[in-house]
Structure 1
Amino acid sequence: MATEHAYATVTTIERKVWAALDAVQDPELAESITALRFVTEVRVVEGDVTIRLRLPAYFCAPNFAYLMVADAHDVAAAVPETGTVRVILEDHFAADQINAGVERATGFTGSFPGEAAEELDELRKTFQRKAYIAALERVVRRLSAAGRMEPAPLLLTLGDVPEGVERTSLERRRAAIGLDTAPESSLLVGDDGIPVKSGDLALRLSYARAVRVSIEGNAHLCRGLLATRYGDDSASARNGAA
């Protein structure tokens, strides 16, 4: 019975860690590292957690890689009942520096001396803003298809967006960059929170489409690189936690 209880506890913790990792995103692609299949293993031994990550290319930018490893460590460490947490990035040219830096909490600049201290925070903010713009464009496309963008698009509010994946994603992206998520808040606002002006709408939407296409294209490319590098049968071993 004790063994069965211990196994159940381990399985529960693993599931919770997997669920927590769902919230960690590739900063450039605005998709979960679990959905992208960057996580290959979550192992729990006596409460201690080991997470293994991989990336599509050996030379993925170290600042991107560091963000994902650090974020994975932080969300896993916040899961109740976990002991020590170790995140291991594999098959990356800077893996040793990144893994050691996250484990010792020395930060990016401690792992890569000479880099700007604020670089990672600004990088994260930049891609959060882009993710918001792409999410807004998806919502606008849905509203346009339903004939909801006429005759006064600038009067639309967040509450005018139908419930669903697009609205949930948009609300999450707005919250991430500090924008209002109340249903009565204006829908068409820039990433600075300033409402879009009528004369700028077409140009703003054209730019938003370009951002969305770029993000989705990069995500498709990364999936292809990952499949080429590791094979199509290299799915994350999620231990039934999907």
Structure 2
Amino acid sequence: MRITEALATVRDPELDAPITELGFVARIEEHDGEVEVELRLPTYFCAPNFAYLMVADAYDAVAAVPGVTKVVIRLEDHFASDEINSGVAASRGFEGSFPGLADGELEELRQTFRRKAHRACQEQVATRLLKAGWTMLTLADTTLGEAEEALESSVELERLLRRRDDLGLSSGRESALLVQDDGTPITAVDLPLQLRMAKTTRISIEGNSGLCRGLLSVRYGLPRPPGVDQAVG
């Protein structure tokens, strides 16, 4: 259970969902502090940079579990499995795993997807408040504390706070609810356009997530996830 919980902290960088929830964890074995994890992806040609991030993050998450003395993470059925698995095991980094092909390390890519996830979460919270009767002008002046009082134990707000933490943005009650990537509050003038763009980002993330779940279920003969288009596959 503790290994599964650790892996649940690892997210697909593009889909913004835990790899455990997405079905990417195929097998976990633990014995006397030694842990082996087998990962799988929806297609043979999933982007190697995304795949490397997940394998490396899975390694770090499991290695941090108290009592674990040895970790082996294996990505199966992927065209770059050998390079990724050996690179993570040897701590060579992405560039060291793909010499001459990789364009630097992956932190910039990771940050890009963190920002996208943050915008999508902001749009979800804003939409809930707008449906409750709030206006754009009100939203532009709303603080996190005011949103928390209005939404109470909102899953959307909890997710937004986690995304802010990922980006190092303030999560204090007096902080503005809706902010740019650098933490600058979004003005009332800019807010309608920003929310429309954020909605597009959210729909893209949700669409890609549904497609990947469907492809994974077809590839490995798994039950079709709820809500996935039956036409997939």
CA distance in 2, matches of 1:178, 1:102: 26
The residue aligned with 2:91 is 105
The whole-number CA distance in structure 2 between the counterparts of 1:166 and 1:142 is 9
Q: 2:137 and 2:192 mapped to 1: Cα distance?
A: 14
Q: Distance in 1 between matches of 2:108 and 2:29?
A: 32
Q: State how far apart, in whole Å, the 2-side matches of 1:129 and 1:156 are.
A: 20
**Match of 1:31?**
17
Paired with 1:21 and 1:184, the residues of 2 have a C-alpha distance of 33
27, 31, 37: which one aligns with 1:45: 31
Matching of residues 167-182 of structure 1 within 5 Å = 167-182=157-172
User: How far off its partner does 1:59 sit?
Assistant: 0.3
Relative to structure 1, the CA distance from residue 172 to residue 191 in structure 2 (aligned partners, 3 Å threshold; closer, same or farther) is same
Secondary structure of 1:88's aligned partner: strand
Give the SS at the match of 1:124.
Answer: helix
Return the alpha-carbon distance in structure 2 between the equivalents of residues 217 and 79 of structure 1.
33
Which residue among 41, 66, 77 is the counterpart of 1:91?
77
- Give the counterpart of 1:117 among 84, 96, 104: 104
RMSD over equivalenced CA pairs, Å: 1.4
What is the aligned partner in structure 1 of residue 186 from structure 2? 196
What SS does the aligned partner of 1:152 have? helix
SS in structure 2 at match of 1:148: coil
Indicate yes or no: 2:135 matched with 1:143.
Answer: no
Selected match of 1:225 from 208, 215, 228: 215
1:238 is matched with none
Work out the CA distance in 2 between the residues paired with 1:150 and 1:204: 11
Overall identity of the aligned pairs, in % = 52
In the other structure, the counterpart of 1:187 is: 177
Q: In terms of mean alpha carbon deviation, does 195-204 or 73-82 score higher?
A: 195-204
TM-score w.r.t. structure 2 length?
0.91
Q: Partner amino acid for 1:71?
A: D
**Matched position secondary structure for 2:21:** coil
Q: Residue type of the partner of 2:9?
A: A
> In structure 1, what residue type is equivalent to 2:201?
V
> By how many angstroms is 1:148 displaced?
2.7
Which stretches in structure 2 are left out of the alignment for 5+ residues? 226-233
The answer as to whether partners of 1:53 and 1:88 remain within 8 angstroms in 2 is yes
Cα distance per residue 1:178-209 (max 9 Å; x no partner): 11101110011111211112221111010010
1:91-110 CA deviation, whole Å, 9 max, x = no partner?
00000110000011111111
On the 8 A contact 1:140/1:149 being kept in 2, the answer is no
For the structure 1 residues 95 and 234, does the alpha-carbon distance in structure 2 shift closer, same or farther, using more than 3 Å as the test? farther
Q: Which residue of 1 aligns with 2:50?
A: 64
Cα offsets for 1:99-134 (capped at 9, x unmatched): 00001111111110022223x101100000000000
Distance in 2 separating the partners of 1:233 and 1:131: 27
Number of paired residues?
220
Q: Quick one: which of 121, 130, 143 aligns to 2:116?
A: 130
Aligned pair in 2 of structure 1 residues 93, 173: CA closer, same or farther (>3 Å)? Answer: same
In 2, distance between residues paired with 1:209 and 1:229? 30
